[in-house]
Amino acid sequence: MKPANYIQLAKEAQARALAPYSGFRVGAVLISASGKTYQGCNVENSSYSLTCCAERVAMFKAVSEGDREFTDLYLCGDAPEYTYPCGACRQVLLDLGGSDLKIHLIHSNGTFKTVTVGDLLPLSFNASHLRKP
Ligand code: THU
């Protein structure tokens, strides 16, 4: 699939956002090494802190389906220009996707720019820091 198709999938996911409290809609598409796609949108909760971001919804869907290797994630949101992943999502994307996972940030004008998770979360805490049992 071409970037334009993935952007379309991200926007479709964004349209399904459940965001009655913030009114801020986010859509993500995660692509696995085998080419499968997983869409995610933010799902808010009346107990606000239980809200789950679009990126984590997409990642947890994928992992729960058995996928473990990912190459790209497309992200769009209601911010005036780019919507960047929050800190919690950066950590989850790093742990489950690795620092080379490409993040394509979709601008509100339809173009996109690409960074890696490593760019977004340098000097990270990660599995290599945990003492083995
Ligand atoms: N949100 C995401 O879905 N992803 C992010 O990385 C940033 C924030 C959502 C959470 C909440 O529903 C709304 O955007 C406003 O913070």
Give the residue whose CA is nearest to atom 6 of ligand 1: 85
In tens, the pLDDT along 49-90 reads 999 999 999 999 999 999 999 999 999 999 999 999 999 999
Q: Which two tokens stand for residue 10?
A: 């991200």
Which residue minimizes the CA distance to atom 7 of ligand 1? 86
Which residues, other chains included, contact 86 with Cβ-Cβ below 8 Å and sequence gap of 6+? 53
55 catalytic, yes or no?
yes
CA dihedral 87, 76, 17, 12 (to 10 degrees): -150
Give the Cα separation of 55 and 89 in Å (integer): 6
Q: Tell me the pTM.
A: 0.97
pLDDT in tens, 5-64: 999 999 999 999 999 999 999 999 999 999 999 999 999 999 999 999 999 999 999 999
Cα dihedral sign, 6-12-13-19: positive
For residue 64, the CA-to-ligand 1 centroid distance in Å is 21
Confirm if 80 and 15 have CB atoms less than 8 A apart.
Answer: no
- Tell whether ligand 1 has an atom less than 6 A from the beta carbon of residue 45: no
Among 25, 59, 53, 20, CA closest to 39: 59
47 Cα: distance to centroid of ligand 1 (angstroms): 15
Q: Which domains does the chain have, with CATH numbers?
A: 3-123 (3.40.140.10)
